[in-house]
A and B are shown apart, each in its own frame.
Chain A
Amino acid sequence: MKATRTAWVFMVLAAFLTACVERYYPGNTDHLTGILVVNAHLTGGPGTQTINLSRSDGLIFPEYKPESGAVVQVENERGDMINFAESGGGDYLGDLPDDFLQEGGSYRLLLITSGGNRYESEFATLHPALTIDSVYYRIETAPGDDPGTTVEGLRFYMDFIVDPGADRFLMWDVTETYEFHNPPYEGFIYDLDRVLRPLPDNMSDRQCWITRHIPEIFTQETGNLAAGRYSMKPLHFVSNQTQRLRHGYSLLVRQLSLDEAAFRYWDNLKKNVQEAGALFDTQPSITPGNICSCDDPEERVLGFFSVSAVSEKRIFIRDVEGLEVPDRIFCFPTFQFPRLNYFRLQDLPIFLSRATWPETGEIITGETDRECLDCRLYRGSSGEPPDFWPQ
């Protein structure tokens, strides 16, 4: 109760003192949903490549709507075709022969949806990769979630070499992997047999490795730069408020060399979703892709088909000097009495955990999310360390 009141007072204060930027709920503006979305970016080098098909959705309660049953092919300028097979969730996987993607080669995407509509992309050219010089970080502070507050953390940067003879359009794709520990609370399961039992071993895991794609687009055009080292290209910021920097953090930066059309597409997309709301606002770009319908030229297709060579750099961080990573309480069982008598059948099984409230020493048993007992259930999580993880 006390905690609630404090939070309430704080919220009221925050609303009075600040809030020149407020959340805005646009109401129902969606009217162009259900448009085919193609994410097809092939990168040089051997291995399985993924093409993803889905449909666009409304703004208010968005859902990822995978597109299944499509025929997906990639063709080179000589007419050689590679089929991509559906693997679920809108993903279509294809194994490209080693010599299929070649520097200077041109490729296009051919699609037939389950409804029989045919689509094709413009030809995209594979550009050679520039090498990443280094990836590093600095301790910085950034604005916190609550207005007026700041948080400490790491800002990642990279250096790369600008070669005016080579490609002008760069994009970086950044993926993080970090070790994650669930709290050591005792876990219980209450299932159809209506007995509260300790969690079996196969249903609990407290140490995981979570891999996520950083949801930011990083681009740089080098046409207006002279030869030399581009230093301190800012990447994302990782605050000390999560576990990311606590047990080990690995960052993979993939540098993609795009052709101009693909670069403009991603650069405009970046401006639309990351840079809106500056002091001098720009109109959002309308970002047409390079895929069109063969049957109906008026039909719009979102997304872009591109090919590029890739260079990669991975770094690993543990125990950053000068940065404190506080141990935060999370996944604490709810204070409410477990609703064991009021469940609906479809809610079963219910998971509970038992923990000690640090301020009072009181032992609390309450409902908890299953992810709090088995961290493998988090998005992008695995119970096994990845190959590159240092021992």
Chain B
Amino acid sequence: MRHSKLAIILLLFIWNGLLSQEPARKLSLDLSRATFNEFVDQFETRTGIRVYFRPDWFGEIRVDYRRDSVTPEEAIREVLKGTGLHYGFVSSSAIVILPERRLNTSLPEILSVEALQGSSDAKREYMGINGSQYIQGTRPEQITRTITVGDPSSRTSRSVARVKGKLVHVETGEPVAGATMVILESGKGGISDQYGNVAMALAPGRYSAQFSFIGMEKLNAALEVYSDGEFKLEMRPAVIALNEVQILGEQYRDISSTDIGVERFSMKSLKQLPVFMGERDVIKISKLLPGITSAGEASTGVNVRGGNVDQNIFYINRLPVYNTSHLFGFFSAFNSDIIRDFSVYKGNVPVNYGGRLSSVFNILTRKGNNKIYTAHAGISPVSAHLTFEGPLRKDHSSFIVSGRSSYSDWILRRIDDPEISNSDAFFYDVAASMNFEPGEKNTLQLFYYQSFDDFRYAELTDYEYANRGGSLNWSRNISPALTSKVTATASAYRFRNADKSEISRAYSHEYLLNHNEVLADFTWVPAIRHSVEFGSNLIYYRLDRGVVEPYGPSSIRKRLDLGFEHGVEGSFFISDDMSLLSWLNLYGGFRYSYYSKLGPETVMLYESGKPKTENTIVDSLSFGKFSPVRFNSGPELRIAMNMKGGQNTSFKLAFNQMRQYLFMLSNTVTISPTDQWKLSDYHIDPQTGYQFSAGAYHIFPGIGVSGSVELYYKYSKDIVEYRDGADFVNIPLTETQVLQGSQNAYGAELMLQKTSGRLNGWINYTLSRSEMLVAGDTESESINHGNPYPSNYDRPHVLNLVANYHVNRRFSVASNVVFMSGRPVTFPASLYYIKEVAYIDYYARNEFRVPDYFRVDLSLTVEGNLKAEKLMHSTWSFNVYNLLGRKNPQSIFFRSEDFFVRGYAFSVIGVPVFTLSWNVKLGNYESN
């Protein structure tokens, strides 16, 4: 035993040198169902090379091998393929066959352990064996190791062991979420959750496992499973090498999981993309993905697969954020410094999410570095940001604090509308989180977030809005098979505005929404290829719709209290993800959600069969405190299926049901900061929807390109639309102002992405339609005369190209090209005169379109030098937004000017916008 180990180490040392001495003799072999011994006999006879091996490793392996004129090495490699065994030349006439992972276990592991200590010597060694002071442009040698799970002495009779791993970042101790663990022998895999946990049920035995994640070194390890157990694995960030840059996507995941209509990003992987005004922005980036668009440049929120803006929920560490924009959508309210990664679910939404019809944006923040104190900062023409992080207790707990604030009205001065350029704006956001690991089995995260916006629109209107909230996430490994996650969140969104356009009717209005939620979520891995998730959540909503109050001494506005709303929403959910066959994966999810609006409330009753107006009120109902005003509940099925068509291809189908119990009151085309969220009530039904989706995914091996086609059809009903001239500030009876209709959306999304090489990026094309139908009993209860019409954000053709070219390690060029069909707009049907003034007759809604949108952005990123020993590393980026200066109209409108009606096109950014921004961090190029 001892001898064999020594032999292995020796072998390892002479390994590389000897490989080059491979003999050039050629041979021909013709073997059918031969034993390995027979193969070796023939091989040795024809080449004169001795093969050393243990026959019991081969057992009943049969060799089918017919080849002419192959080198001995090719022959042996091809025969050993798939056996998990490895070979090596120990001399030009001797080959040793050994189990692969045994070969190079120990030595690289020692190296990696030293690197972990953080000593500069070890680090230097890690970066380059010869102590080079520059970071090398190639990956370090692949580091392999053995992971032992369970107790080797246990003689369990169980056929399945539950293996649970925790993947963490080697430098910061942060969990690595979304990483894949693949058992190479079976092709089975698992994906780590937001706490870095990956779980799998495996029969005891020895496996080869591969761990990978965007921007991380791929890690191979031998996995020795004896019984139930856990392991922890530190993953190392990949030094971005010229020939391997990963931007997006985990290709394995696309092929193997039942995820359909899911997009995932690591923030780090998006570093080089062009940005607007020097502000990196997850929401802007998401708009470059298929199926996600917005009504315009300055518009809050996104439209996902033909759904309304209020059909999306944004979570940051599971904290819901109700207004995700700064400055009306020019920027997102999330500082990218603190974001680790984000996912968008737009197709099949996992059962633990619900409450919105179109999508869930799940943003996760970084954990603070639990080893050293470090900081990032940056400045752009608009804002400055700073992040500080470090250990609270080394290796155990950490904190991270990040803040961003605007300091100039630079952007407003660029907008050629005198009222906007005479306006003032200010915004900030802060986020902080603390992470603890009390004991081996628990992780605890405390998170706080706040954003604030203040905007003075000329002398006419003041807007102010803010999000604020906190979340507590507690994750516990109850047993290797069972994990629990408990989350408690409290989120508040408020706005205040003052309309000062006429002093006598000037008013101010303040609105507040509270969302308090508890969520418990359990994951159970009972068997091989089988994982069950179940749990429940409960939300308490409290909406203070506010008081409209006279503003200023001259105002004779009546005080109007729009009242409070209370409601509870909850759910129970369970899902089962399992592999039925090697090529078939099923995800079956069931969520049952319920909702009740709670009193106190007085509900007006209207004459039946007549439009609901103030004049048709016949009676009223009173509800006491906490008594249910209306109870709604319903099942939400989430079913998905993955059929693999080979190693690199898969097909997926999904059916998804969603229910939504609150919506936004907005009569504007884009969301304004005074739009109120409103609960479904006695009169207004909850919105429900379902979606069918299908997808095909393929990886083109070797060239780093993957492609997908996804198709969807989505039908939603009780979508809230607004009567002409709807008013939510003067009229507290919302049901008299809204109408409900149905929405049909369908589309095809094509995506090609290249994730490696000097040139990488993606291109996607989406063909889609989104149509509304509001057909009431009378003309006044219908929109567009009861005929279907395109929704305001219907964009049939969208093409996005994102390309990133690394000239060298310090310099990269990136470009976005965006083409979209113009959004629908209502054009005049005819013109008529009353008292010599021209008026417009509008008839068909959204029948025409604004001109198509086309934009090219460019960015140059220059990194500081690559010295390994430096205090700080800085990056300059130069961005041009709308390089061609194309005036892409956001809206087209018509005004009556005396005898004529004139059309105008309003484009928000009609010129190229050049920005230079500077970011700096402590540490070197590689530091996190």
Contacts and interface: CB of A to CB of B under 8 A. Distances in A.
Interface of A: 17-26, 29-35, 37, 39, 52, 54-59, 62, 64, 143, 147-148, 162, 213, 215, 220-221, 223-234, 264, 267-269, 271-274, 276-277, 279-288, 300, 302-303, 379
A20 B840 contact: no
Contact of A24 (B419, B724, B905): B905
A55 B832 CA distance: 7
B509 to A, nearest CB: 12
Given A20-B417, A35-B832, A52-B834, A224 B840 contact: no
A303 B829 CA distance: 15
**What 10 pairs between A and B have smallest CB-CB spacing?**
A285-B724, A276-B893, A273-B896, A277-B893, A24-B903, A32-B829, A280-B668, A24-B905, A56-B830, A280-B672
Contact of B779 (A30, A232, A284, A288): A288
A72 to B, nearest CB: 16
A59 B899 CA distance: 11
Interface residues of B, number: 75
A62 B901 contact: yes
Interface in B466-494: none
Contacts of B889: 24
Given A224-B505, A276-B893, 10 more contacts: A23-B903, A59-B830, A59-B831, A215-B836, A221-B730, A226-B550, A277-B906, A279-B328, A283-B845, A287-B841
Contacts of B840: 272-273, 284
A25 B895 contact: no
Interface of B: 298, 328, 415-420, 457, 502-505, 548, 550, 554, 556-558, 560, 667-672, 724-725, 730, 779, 784-785, 792, 826-843, 845-846, 848, 887, 889, 891-908, 910
Contacts of B417: 20-21, 279
Given A20-B908, A215-B837, A224-B558, A285 B668 contact: no
Which residue of B418, B557, B900, B908 has the most chain A CB atoms within 10 A of its CB atom?
B418
A148 B418 CA distance: 7
Contacts of A17: 416
A284 B896 contact: no
B828 A59 contact: yes
A56 to B, nearest CB: 4
Contact of B887 (A22, A285, A287): A22
Contact of B725 (A224, A230, A232, A285): A285
B556 A230 contact: yes
A267 B724 CA distance: 11
B901 A59 contact: yes
A51 B845 CA distance: 30
Nearest to B548: A224
Main SS at interface, chain B: mixed
A19 B503 CA distance: 31
B502 A234 contact: yes
Contacts of B415: 20
A147 B421 CA distance: 13
A232 B891 CA distance: 31
Contact of A37 (B834, B887, B904): B834
A286 B903 contact: no
Given A21-B904, A215-B836, A215-B896, A281 B831 contact: no
A221 B502 CA distance: 13
B905 A273 contact: no
A28 to B, nearest CB: 10
Contacts of B503: 231-232
25 contacts: A20-B887, A24-B903, A29-B848, A31-B829, A55-B832, A57-B831, A59-B901, A62-B833, A64-B836, A148-B418, A220-B505, A223-B730, A224-B505, A224-B558, A227-B556, A229-B556, A276-B894, A277-B891, A279-B328, A279-B672, A280-B669, A280-B670, A285-B725, A286-B842, A286-B845
Nearest to A269: B839
A349 B420 CA distance: 51
B887 A24 contact: no
Contacts of B298: 279
Contacts of B779: 288
Contact of B907 (A20, A283, A287, A302): A20
Contacts of B842: 272, 284-287
A224 B729 CA distance: 10
Contacts of A281: 668-670, 891, 893
Contacts of B418: 143, 148
Which residue of A21, A62, A223 has the most chain B CB atoms within 10 A of its CB atom?
A21
Contact of B792 (A39, A283, A285): A283
A34 B668 CA distance: 31
Contact of A303 (B730, B832, B901): B832
A303 B908 CA distance: 35
Contacts of B505: 220, 224-225, 230
A25 to B, nearest CB: 6
Contact of A213 (B669, B836, B841, B897): B836
B725 A267 contact: yes
Given A37-B832, A267-B725, A302-B832, A273 B502 contact: no
Nearest to B792: A283
Contacts of B899: 62
Contacts of A24: 889, 892, 903-905
A58 B840 CA distance: 10
Given A32-B843, A215-B896, A284 B725 contact: no
A214 B704 CA distance: 68
A267 B725 CA distance: 9
A278 to B, nearest CB: 8
A164 to B, nearest CB: 8
Contact of B504 (A230, A268, A286): A230
Contacts of A62: 831, 833, 838, 899-901
Contacts of B903: 23-26, 59
Nearest to B836: A213
A279 B458 CA distance: 12
Contacts of A233: 502, 504
Nearest to A142: B418
A227 B504 CA distance: 11
B415 to A, nearest CB: 7
Contacts of A213: 835-837
A185 to B, nearest CB: 26
B832 A54 contact: yes
A94 B899 CA distance: 26
A361 B904 CA distance: 42
A54 B418 CA distance: 38
Contact of A26 (B730, B784, B835, B848): B848
A207 B504 CA distance: 40
A302 B831 CA distance: 10
A21 B843 contact: no
B896 to A, nearest CB: 4
A35 B906 CA distance: 30
A87 B397 CA distance: 90
A276 B895 contact: yes
Contacts of A269: 839
A26 B887 CA distance: 16
Contacts of A29: 827-829, 848
A215 B420 CA distance: 26
Contacts of B548: 224
Contacts of A234: 502
Contact of A271 (B725, B730, B843, B892): B725
A63 B833 CA distance: 9
A352 B143 CA distance: 96
A224 to B, nearest CB: 5
A11 B266 CA distance: 48
A57 B830 CA distance: 6
Nearest to A54: B833
Given A18-B416, A30-B829, A62-B831, A231 B504 contact: yes
Contacts of B416: 17-21, 147
Contacts of A18: 416
Contacts of B724: 268, 283, 285-287
